[in-house]
Amino acid sequence: MNEARQFDADVIVVGAGPVGLSIANMLGVHGVKTVLLERGEELIDYPRAIGMDDECLRSLQSFGMAEAVQEHLTPYHWMRFVTKTGRCFASIEPRTDEFGWSRRNAFNQPLVDRVLLDGLKRFPNVEVRFGQDVMRFEQDADGVTLDVKRTDGSVSSLRTRWLVGSDGGRSPIRTALNVGFGGFTDTSKWLVVDVRNDPIGVPHMYMHCDPERPYVSGALPDGIRRFEFMIFENESEEEMTQPANLAKLMAKVLPPGVDSTRLDYIRQRVYTHNARIADRWKVGRVMLAGDAAHIMPVWQGQGYNTGMRDATNLGWKLAYVVKGIASEKLLDTYQMERPPHAKSMIDLSVTAGRIFSPRNPAVAGARDFATWVLNYIPPLKRYFTEMRFKPMPKYETGLVVREAELNTEASFGQLLGQLVRKTPLGRFMPKASQNAVGKGNSPAGRLFIQPRVRTRDGEVKLLDDVLGPGFAIVAWGVDPSFWLDQKSRDIIAALGARIITAKPVPQMHRDRDIGPDAIVVGDEQMRLKDWFGSYPGAVAVIRPDRFVAGLAYPVKINELLAQVADKMGLNVTRGAA
């Protein structure tokens, strides 16, 4: 393979599922020359994932597709766990919108995937090629060369600077890299049945915890309904999809007397639950994302969303490295940040499945009694209802600057707060109360909130639409420009970062304390004030994926920016992405 040949793309993405489509859209926004290869002749046209969370919608927002998919979503879609007798013992009903969107949404994946594919037409720098199967690839110090087989049997060679394998759970890219995929496969199987003419019509998702045969019933947009039935070890896919046996299964979920042959079936497929994660997500110039990096049971609907978090984390980092703004050091943070959180989501999904589907009646009875008791303990009930058990992404290493790195000493109150949060009491305290105790709960490495803000033109927008596609420096009530030295100004210029000062709406037109570089917004919901009031600092450096790189007082902004620049290998002589 010729190492000196011209590059066909800066990034080649293999796999046109939601993760690959999203990475390509993000690279398109940043002007990166991208080729998306898909082995199939077209997108998959049947439902697979059915749950989208607020973090995922925020990712779609980052490349201008959140509004376009709204018609294919059902927001505020609850998940209810029901005993054999019909009692709802747990209902997950998160009503928060701290990230700007409904936390739980049902969606029609084929239509959303189509929106993401159509979104790529906006970018002359992105090319999509269907019917392209990667036969082999080889990487060197400068790039990756691929042999690609077309559907007509011809083979071509492509060369790229970076390669992303988002090619599914059986990823040939991962296999070729000889990367381990440790974990386990559950012994039970599940039959998925999707129908176009929903015969029940009730909203939400119902997890029927019947030990005789657990099953799921969920409403989707466009009158589609999904049923899932546990299939036992002595039952085969061929057997259970026979009309007579399928009719018996459907009789379990349909009202009495309904003829199941009137249902318009989309598909019937048996699948197994896997809990696996790749040993490495970055090998030289090749990265893994989505199902190629991790697969998990469906019980919390987080497989799709976890893959989208991968795309959000990786897309902008690739853009900054390709454009010479950051070094490969930044891409190394993908390996540091994403696997630990993906593993926590796998563990959550496995635990939820064990709660949902025990086949031992005694175990199911004990669960039903325990949950009946817990519903009378308000803090525990809120813990489940508000989905506080969901591990939110928190990056401990990578592009994260801790308070200790800014030479700040923890006060007694902060130390007390840290101690309280580690006790059982702290686990069930409201977040605001936890933060109030010593204000020691650093937001560095966590996702920043997205409230609505008012611009000086009078428009009310979601915050990210003001921040723009790159870095942002967000401050409460002050313009941090006053404290910037020349090195920090150079860093901000290299990052292309916007400076945002949030004020109470009545004060947003006052300029006496605002320099020419700051964009002033009105804190429409006063949530930014509450957020900054909960932490030790008034200036936050926000990454393009909306995670907090670090928080500081205005007088420490130079130290914070220097740390950010160092951790990403920033080239201060280059322009912004």
Q: Which two tokens stand for residue 80?
A: 């209810």
**Residues 153-195: pLDDT tens digits?**
999 999 999 999 999 999 999 999 999 999 988 777 889 999 9
Q: Do the domain assignments include residue 305? A: yes
Q: Do the domain assignments include residue 470? A: yes
Task: Specify the pLDDT at position 357.
Answer: 58
Are 474 and 334 in the same domain? no
Is the model's pLDDT at 387 over the cut of 50?
no
**Residues 489-513: pLDDT tens digits?**
999 999 999 999 999 999 999 988 8
As a whole number of angstroms, the distance between CA 190 and CA 276 comes to 18
Are 32 and 172 in the same domain? yes
Contact assessment for residue 226 and residue 205, using Cβ atoms and an 8 Å cutoff: no
Q: In 193-322, where does DSSP find H-type helix?
A: 237-240, 243-251, 303-322
Q: Do the domain assignments include residue 494? A: yes
Average pLDDT over residues 49-68: 96
**For residue 209, what pLDDT band results from cuts at 50, 70 and 90?**
confident
**Residues 6-26: pLDDT tens digits?**
999 999 999 999 999 999 999
If you average pLDDT over every residue of the chain, what do you get? 87
- Dihedral sign computed on CA atoms, order 163, 166, 168, 174: positive
Average pLDDT over residues 93-107: 92
CATH number at residue 536: 3.40.30.10
Are 38 and 173 in the same domain? yes
Cβ atoms within 10 Å of 108's Cβ, excluding its own: 19
Task: Specify the pLDDT at position 483.
Answer: 95
More confident residue, 555 or 211: 555
More confident residue, 356 or 176: 176
Is the model's pLDDT at 228 over the cut of 60?
yes
Last residue of a domain, one of 312, 335, 352: 352
Question: What is the β-pairing status of strands 34-38 and 9-14?
Answer: parallel
Q: Do the domain assignments include residue 251? A: no
As a whole number of angstroms, the distance between CA 84 and CA 86 comes to 5
Average pLDDT over residues 70-83: 91
Task: Specify the pLDDT at position 211.
Answer: 82
Does the predicted TM-score (pTM) go above 0.85? yes
Are 347 and 491 in the same domain? no
Give the DSSP letter of residue 298.
Answer: S
Domain that holds residue 17: 9-72+103-181+277-352
Q: Do the domain assignments include residue 82? A: no
Task: Specify the pLDDT at position 376.
Answer: 58
Last residue of a domain, one of 300, 332, 352: 352
**Residues 468-485: pLDDT tens digits?**
999 999 999 999 999 999
Last residue of a domain, one of 297, 321, 352: 352
Give the DSSP letter of residue 260.
Answer: G
Are 35 and 163 in the same domain? yes
**For residue 302, what pLDDT band results from cuts at 50, 70 and 90?**
confident
Q: Do the domain assignments include residue 225? A: no
Q: State the total domains in the chain.
A: 2
Average pLDDT over residues 124-152: 97
Is the model's pLDDT at 404 over the cut of 90?
no
Is the model's pLDDT at 259 over the cut of 70?
yes
**For residue 81, what pLDDT band results from cuts at 50, 70 and 90?**
confident
Is the model's pLDDT at 263 over the cut of 80?
yes
- Nearest Cα neighbor of 183 from 350, 300, 337 is 350
Contact assessment for residue 50 and residue 146, using Cβ atoms and an 8 Å cutoff: no
Contact assessment for residue 66 and residue 53, using Cβ atoms and an 8 Å cutoff: no
Q: Do the domain assignments include residue 33? A: yes
Are 469 and 331 in the same domain? no
Task: Specify the pLDDT at position 410.
Answer: 46
Is the model's pLDDT at 431 over the cut of 80?
no
Task: Specify the pLDDT at position 390.
Answer: 54
Average pLDDT over residues 145-159: 96
Average pLDDT over residues 529-555: 96
CATH number at residue 312: 3.50.50.60
Are 334 and 456 in the same domain? no
Q: Do the domain assignments include residue 228? A: no
Contact assessment for residue 58 and residue 101, using Cβ atoms and an 8 Å cutoff: yes
Average pLDDT over residues 356-377: 58
Cβ atoms within 10 Å of 374's Cβ, excluding its own: 15
- Provide the percentage of residues in the chain whose pLDDT is more than 70: 85
Average pLDDT over residues 336-351: 86
As a whole number of angstroms, the distance between CA 250 and CA 253 comes to 5
Average pLDDT over residues 112-122: 98
- Provide the percentage of residues in the chain whose pLDDT is more than 90: 66
